[in-house]
A and B are shown apart, each in its own frame.
Chain A
Amino acid sequence: MNDRKRETWEHPWGYKESFMVVLELLLLGLIFEVLARGRAFSGISWPENLITGLVLIILISLAHIFFRKHPIVKWLSSVPAAISAISLFTFLVLLLGFIPQGNPHLHPIIRIFGLYHIKNSWVFVISSVYLLTCLGLVALRRAQPLNRKNIGFLLNHAGMWIVLAAGGLGAGDVHKLQVELHEQSGFINTGRNQAMEVNELPFSMKLIDFHIDEYLPKIGIVDLNSGALISYNGRTTITAEAGDQVELGDWTISVTEFIPDADSDSGNYVFSEMEGSAPAAFLEVKDLLSRNQVNGWLSCGSYAVPMKHLPLDEEHVMVMLRPEAERYSSHIIVDSGAKSDTIILEVNRPHKINGFNIYQLSYDERMGKWSKISIVEAVKDPWLPVVYAGIFMLLAGAAYIFWIGNEQKRNVL
């Protein structure tokens, strides 16, 4: 418009001003953090989080309705402000990506500026509010006219606003309770949260049976000098299966016998129905270089059965690894008060009850497949439907970007 170069802080603001604002926000957040002396921003819960969300929406809407021509509001919905807001957020996530979280004692700087709890730090809160302000204003600006071009834009920006706002504000309302169920115990209606405090659940559970299917155990060769499994061209283990003959490095291994449930009987392994039985295999191992052959039993053992290695020479010993779980599930009776159901709880298959989702989490790993304990987690997240609404808007927005691409830009160029 005019040839005179714009002075700094003269409107319209560009990248320079945007990044100076962001720098100030960053400093402000760090000062807050130092003043708070390690007290993290603990988040807000119902109903304060709803009120905060509504206040944010009202303020952004008022700014949009009454001051949309004001240079500051214009700037907040401009691309330079957006880039500065995303950059600040990215910078914080970058710190999160590099600094291990939860340990304040790694370095004094990490402790003083709260970089060990970035998600709950003041600068993260400030950055999120700045990002939400920019996003909200620009989404409102493009909400009318609601034509084809703007719909894609709106889906992406409003969707992101909803996910960030509802995810952030709703975090304080998430209840996560771990419940340890024992096969012989009765109904349990309490669980422990992350602070190990006991909380009551609006339903009760009783474990009938815990069951694990296991993969076949793996067999590998350990270097006695380093104590580690040897990798032969990236291959460290083979699977024990009767009748198999495989090569691992310089050795040919034949599995002549494999017993999935075995007990040791004076050096031998025999099939056993007892609890705590472990897999065992009889191997013939030939050294291809020296032509030596070693035969013997191999077992990974369990809490009841001793493990057994097979020494190959001075430096190498063959070991069987504990089998990995293929599938584990709990047979549980769930009583919601109104009715009682028998369910099978499995990883990736949660069960819904009274506003909670229950998940198969873990078991007594020392006991392996003989575990009598099942650890389940009950999770309640009342804001989930809102977050999902945002996620589905973003999914639709991504589909839009895929189909339409950067059509607008093609016209610009």
Chain B
Amino acid sequence: MNWINYPLFGLITIIFWITGVMLITISEKTKKFEWQGRIFVLAGIVTLTIFLTLLWIRLERPPLRTLGETRLWYSLFLPLVGFVTYLRWNYKWFLSYALGLASLFMIINYLHPETYDKTLMPALQSPWFVPHVIVYIFAYALLAASSLVAIKGLYQVYYRDFNQTTLRLADNLVYIGFSFLTLGLLFGALWAKEAWGHYWTWDPKETWAFLTWLSYLIYMHFRTFQPKKVKVPLWALSLAFVILLICWFGINYLPSAENSVHVYGTD
């Protein structure tokens, strides 16, 4: 199992998801095919999980090193978040968004395939590696979801159709995402002490992860102080995601990041 099998697995996954979303959408009133729809969505998630597991075994290292590999995890976690959110609050549109975005990332991966590179530098060979990156990717997926909700909220505001439940959903996602972001940051600090001798070296990636953390921190404080204000937090949440994106892959292009130990291998 390797990237050669990716188009097949990716295609099956996306077909499952499209079928699932269609079944759930047509069951808007009747609820007739909702169950079948859910099973299709889950089947897509399971297919992708199988691919990731087999890829992990084949590479003989966790597939968490290159940007393409992290995109793959993102495509797995975003639908999971979307699915759980949909089950909990019954937001069908949110499930479609999450699956759509995940499919987009999978198509990007299809257009830019990765190497079979098995090498993993010694600094990455640590029990911290997997929890550190998975926790981060899970946080990114949740926070991306919160930004989607914020954009939807902005749309509602400008069409005078705003409902506080939208912002409350965004808050829930931010709170859970933020706790995972904190875990990722702190796991990184504990690992850095083991690997490089200091828990915080202001490596560009650390700096940008910290910036992401700070921007969501500002959002959360603003919300506790003035929960009735709507536009500012919605815009802030959309902007915070830009910082997250810079941290995730924009960093590879920043002049200040030339010597970062975190710049992902893209070869």
Residues A408 and B214 in contact in the complex (CB < 8 Å), given A96-B207, A348-B125 = no
Residues A231 and B267 in contact in the complex (CB < 8 Å), given A86-B218, A394-B186 = yes
| Chain A window 47-84, contacts with chain B (Cβ cutoff 8 Å), 1 for yes, 0 for no | 00000000000000000000000000000001110110
Range class of the B interface residue count: 35 or more
Q: Which of B28-36, B91-99, B191-199 contacts A (4 or more CB under 8 A)?
A: B191-199
Is B267 a contact partner of A237 (Cβ separation < 8 A)? yes
B89 interfacial by beta-carbon distance below 8 Å: no
Is A234 a contact partner of B112 (Cβ separation < 8 A)? yes
In angstroms, how far is the closest chain B Cβ from the Cβ of A158? 15
4 closest cross-chain pairs (CB), A and B: A79-B225, A398-B182, A347-B122, A402-B179
Question: Which A residue's beta carbon lies closest to that of B171?
Answer: A406
Residue A90 contacts which of B114, B116, B180, B215 (CB distance < 8 angstroms)?
B215
Is A176 a contact partner of B207 (Cβ separation < 8 A)? no
Range class of the A interface residue count: 35 or more
| Chain A window 75-115, contacts with chain B (Cβ cutoff 8 Å), 1 for yes, 0 for no | 00011101100110110011011111100000000000000
Is A391 a contact partner of B186 (Cβ separation < 8 A)? yes
B40 interfacial by beta-carbon distance below 8 Å: no
Is A97 a contact partner of B208 (Cβ separation < 8 A)? yes
| Chain B window 158-174, contacts with chain A (Cβ cutoff 8 Å), 1 for yes, 0 for no | 00000010001001100
B175 interfacial by beta-carbon distance below 8 Å: yes
B5 interfacial by beta-carbon distance below 8 Å: no
Residue A237 contacts which of B117, B123, B256 (CB distance < 8 angstroms)?
B117
Is B204 a contact partner of A97 (Cβ separation < 8 A)? yes
| Chain A window 349-362, contacts with chain B (Cβ cutoff 8 Å), 1 for yes, 0 for no | 11000000101000
A-B contact pairs, 14 of them (CB 8 A): A96-B256, A235-B114, A237-B267, A326-B122, A347-B122, A348-B122, A379-B198, A395-B183, A395-B186, A397-B182, A398-B180, A406-B220, A409-B227, A413-B227
Is B210 a contact partner of A93 (Cβ separation < 8 A)? yes
A37 interfacial by beta-carbon distance below 8 Å: no
Is A234 a contact partner of B211 (Cβ separation < 8 A)? no
A250 interfacial by beta-carbon distance below 8 Å: no
Is A401 a contact partner of B178 (Cβ separation < 8 A)? yes
Is B119 a contact partner of A324 (Cβ separation < 8 A)? yes
Report B-chain residues with C-beta under 8 Å of the C-beta of A79: 221-222, 224-225
Is A391 a contact partner of B119 (Cβ separation < 8 A)? no
Is A399 a contact partner of B211 (Cβ separation < 8 A)? no
Report A-chain residues with C-beta under 8 Å of the C-beta of B116: 235, 238-239
Residue A236 contacts which of B164, B190, B267 (CB distance < 8 angstroms)?
B267
Residue B125 contacts which of A82, A231, A327, A406 (CB distance < 8 angstroms)?
A327
Is A237 a contact partner of B115 (Cβ separation < 8 A)? yes
A349 to B197 CA separation, bound complex (whole angstroms): 10
B131 interfacial by beta-carbon distance below 8 Å: no
A328 to B194 CA separation, bound complex (whole angstroms): 15
Residue A401 contacts which of B121, B179, B258 (CB distance < 8 angstroms)?
B179
Chain A contacts with B in 144-176, Cβ cutoff 8 A: 167, 174, 176
Report B-chain residues with C-beta under 8 Å of the C-beta of A327: 122, 125
B71 interfacial by beta-carbon distance below 8 Å: no
The main secondary structure of chain A at its interface with chain B is mixed
Report B-chain residues with C-beta under 8 Å of the C-beta of A397: 182
Is A101 a contact partner of B214 (Cβ separation < 8 A)? no
Residues A413 and B211 in contact in the complex (CB < 8 Å), given A98-B256, A233-B113, A327-B122 = no
A387 interfacial by beta-carbon distance below 8 Å: yes
Report A-chain residues with C-beta under 8 Å of the C-beta of B171: 406, 409
| Chain B window 235-267, contacts with chain A (Cβ cutoff 8 Å), 1 for yes, 0 for no | 000000000000000000011101000000011
Chain B contacts with A in 102-127, Cβ cutoff 8 A: 112-123, 125-126
Instruction: Identify the interface centre among A167, A231, A327, A406: most chain B CB within 10 Å of its CB.
Output: A406
Chain A contacts with B in 223-240, Cβ cutoff 8 A: 229, 231, 233-239
Is B189 a contact partner of A391 (Cβ separation < 8 A)? yes
Is A236 a contact partner of B115 (Cβ separation < 8 A)? yes
Residues A379 and B197 in contact in the complex (CB < 8 Å), given A86-B218, A234-B113 = yes
In angstroms, how far is the closest chain B Cβ from the Cβ of A137? 15
Residues A119 and B119 in contact in the complex (CB < 8 Å), given A97-B256, A398-B183, A409-B227 = no
Report A-chain residues with C-beta under 8 Å of the C-beta of B176: 401-402, 405
In angstroms, how far is the closest chain A Cβ from the Cβ of B177? 10
A294 interfacial by beta-carbon distance below 8 Å: no
Report A-chain residues with C-beta under 8 Å of the C-beta of B180: 398, 402
A1 interfacial by beta-carbon distance below 8 Å: no
A381 interfacial by beta-carbon distance below 8 Å: yes
A384 to B189 CA separation, bound complex (whole angstroms): 12
B58 interfacial by beta-carbon distance below 8 Å: no
A174 to B214 CA separation, bound complex (whole angstroms): 26
Residues A83 and B221 in contact in the complex (CB < 8 Å), given A93-B207, A387-B199, A398-B186 = yes
**Given A402-B175, A409-B224, 20 more contacts at CB 8 Å?**
A79-B221, A79-B225, A83-B218, A86-B217, A93-B210, A96-B207, A100-B258, A101-B202, A119-B202, A167-B199, A176-B198, A235-B113, A235-B114, A324-B121, A348-B125, A359-B195, A379-B197, A394-B182, A395-B182, A409-B227
Residues A399 and B179 in contact in the complex (CB < 8 Å), given A325-B121, A348-B123, A387-B199 = yes
A218 to B224 CA separation, bound complex (whole angstroms): 54
In angstroms, how far is the closest chain A Cβ from the Cβ of B233? 11
A339 interfacial by beta-carbon distance below 8 Å: no
B223 interfacial by beta-carbon distance below 8 Å: yes
Report A-chain residues with C-beta under 8 Å of the C-beta of B193: 384
A16 to B127 CA separation, bound complex (whole angstroms): 47
A286 to B106 CA separation, bound complex (whole angstroms): 33
Residues A82 and B179 in contact in the complex (CB < 8 Å), given A90-B211, A97-B207, A395-B186 = no
B200 interfacial by beta-carbon distance below 8 Å: yes
Is B164 a contact partner of A413 (Cβ separation < 8 A)? yes
| Chain B window 130-162, contacts with chain A (Cβ cutoff 8 Å), 1 for yes, 0 for no | 000000000000000000000000000000000
